[in-house]
Amino acid sequence: MMKEKLKVGVFGGGRGLTMMNVLLDHPDARLVAVCDKYQPSLDKVSQMAKEKNADVATYTNFDDFIRHDMDAVVLANYAHEHALYAVKCLDAGKHVLSEVLPCGTIAQGVALIEAVEKSGLVYAYAENYCYMQHNFEMWYRIKHGDIGDICYAEGEYVHDCTAITPAITYGDPAHWRNKMSANFYCTHSLGPMLMSIGHRPVRVVGYELPDFGRSGTLPIFKGAGGLQMVTLDNGAVCRGLHGNLRREGARNYNYLYYGDSGMMESGRFDNSPLVNVYHEGEKYCEGTWEQFDPEPRVKLDIDYDKVGHMGSDYYPTHFFIEKILGRPEGFEWSIDVYQAVEMGICGILAHRSALRGNVPLDVPDLRDKTQRDAWRNDNETTNPDVPNAQLVPLSSLPTYPYDEEHFYSCVRRLWQDGKRLEKYPE
């Protein structure tokens, strides 16, 4: 007898295409519904479903979508709205896989955690950078004590988005990317470190990096990027860097760990080994090196060359399904709500730190129910679209004058024409 597959819906037809492709071919789940406000995205979904001989309903209204007969929802909508919709899905009895980021404010983080606890359902965080070949390998090895206890780590997500501004913002001045601080989008850099080391963040210092070049004049980018120095509850320190720094033609996702019996780091340039590991020997300052491209730690029947981000886009959805089904791999490798919110609020607090002159700020332990009331109404944000927003400046850096209407109309035209932004619009 054919087993019944999990019925999964996807909210967001842009980034959600990755999850749809996984679900259309997954042995234990099937795509049953997709919601997006942009009809051309839904038309593309219908064509994909037809090619796979799948029955997939499409919706332009979330309230209609959430009533569809399904077990779980993948949230691939706007980044600052994930927690709000996750709560709605959980209240409707659906398991939730959330794309980056987990929450737009600390108050949203509290509400999300409590909704998960109340529901008893599975919440998983789709931080795909944790599952890249090098990061997954290092996560596995550090978890199993390969270089001892970690005292220092670095993570970098350097991605200059200047040229793809049209494709990611559509020329919409209200788009969340036009309202985010330099430190907001932080979990690609911090996430792999926090999961690998396995300790909770307790203190954050945030910085904004000035951009003296052309990106600094674009309203979407307030500076070159963000930097966080994060102290963990075991005293280890992590440095997270991300943003629009100049780096093309080379890897933009570098990670490094120092332990008490060795170190490991990813290859920093194209054609270099993905993982480099130093093992300290019995004598001081003597050891051996391993340098290699790792095989997948959890092997799946997929074509890794065709799955985005070095195959890592498959794992968050797969482990989410495994966890719903009660399988050990899902519990071991899926990222839970506490880990997700901790990653996300480090960025929120880093911005707060930067605005206050780079002061250290404590990270609340929201696993502890007694600490939540102090943060339940903390909706400090740079985005006026956030409910009950307590607005703070987008940046502490100088603001460049520009013709807002002209700039965004030019970017919108480029998006409609499928073109990149090559220079500042004249």
Secondary structure (3-state) at 249: coil
pLDDT for 32 equals 98
Q: What angle do CA 381, 228, 372 make, to 5 degrees?
A: 50
Contacts of 133 (CB under 8 A, 6+ apart): 274, 293, 294, 296, 310, 311, 312
Give me the mean pLDDT over the 153-158 stretch: 95
Q: How much is the average pLDDT of 100-129?
A: 98
The rounded distance, in Å, linking the Cα atoms of 29 and 22 is 9
Asked if the 6-128 domain carries CATH number 3.60.70.12, the reply is: no
Q: Looking at residue 53, what is its pLDDT?
A: 95
Check residue 3 and report its DSSP letter.
P
Sign of CA dihedral 97, 102, 104, 106: positive
In sequence order, the β-bridge partners of residue 289 are 278
Per-residue confidence (pLDDT) for residue 426, from 0 to 100: 72
**Residue 1 pLDDT > 50:** no
Token readout for 19 is 């999850």
What is the average pLDDT across 404-425?
A: 91
Q: Residue 219: is its pLDDT beyond 70?
A: no
Say which residue, 273 or 216, is predicted with more confidence.
273
Residue 210 pLDDT: 86
- pLDDT for the residue 216: 52
Assign domain 131-300+338-391 to its CATH architecture. Answer: 2-Layer Sandwich (3.30)
Tell me the per-residue pLDDT of 326-374, one tens digit each, with 9 for 90 and over: 999 999 999 999 999 999 999 999 999 999 999 999 999 999 999 999 9
Q: Contact 155/248 with Cβ under 8 angstroms? A: no
Contacting residues for 197 by C-beta, under 8 A, at least 6 apart = 142, 150, 153, 232, 234, 236, 238, 257
- pLDDT tens per residue across span 73-110: 999 999 999 999 999 999 999 999 999 999 999 999 99
Q: 119 vs 96, 114, 275, 311, CA distance in Å? A: 11, 8, 40, 31
AA identity, residue 237: V
Name the average pLDDT for the chain: 92
Strands 237-243 and 123-125: unpaired
Residue 2, pLDDT above cutoff 50: no
Instruction: Indicate the pLDDT class of residue 214, thresholds 50, 70 and 90.
Output: low
Count CB-CB contacts under 10 A for residue 364.
20
Give residue 356's pLDDT.
Answer: 97
In whole angstroms, what separates CA 11 from the centre of its chain? 16
The per-residue b/e assignment along 198-222, b for 16 or more CB within 10 angstroms, e otherwise, is ebbbbbbbbbbbebeeebbebbbbb
Q: Which residues contact 108 (CB under 8 A, 6 or more apart)?
A: 83, 84, 379, 386
Q: Which tokens sit at 37?
A: 């406000």
Q: What is the pTM of this model?
A: 0.95
Question: Could you identify the residue written with the tokens 């909210």?
Answer: 11
DSSP output for 350-407: HHHHHHTTS--EEPP-TTSGGGGGGGTT--EES-TTSTT-EE--S-SSPPPP--HHHH
Decide if 268 contacts 255 (C-beta within 8 A): no
Domain ranges of the chain: 6-128, 131-300+338-391
Taking CB atoms within 8 Å and a gap of at least 24, the contacts of 207-215 are 207/350, 207/354, 207/358, 208/181, 208/182, 208/183, 208/354, 208/395, 208/396, 208/397, 209/182, 209/243, 209/245, 210/397, 211/244, 213/246, 214/162, 214/423, 214/424, 215/160, 215/162, 215/244
- What percent of the chain clears pLDDT 70, i.e. is strictly above it? 95
Residue pLDDT, tens place only, 290-322 = 999 998 888 887 776 667 776 789 999 999 999
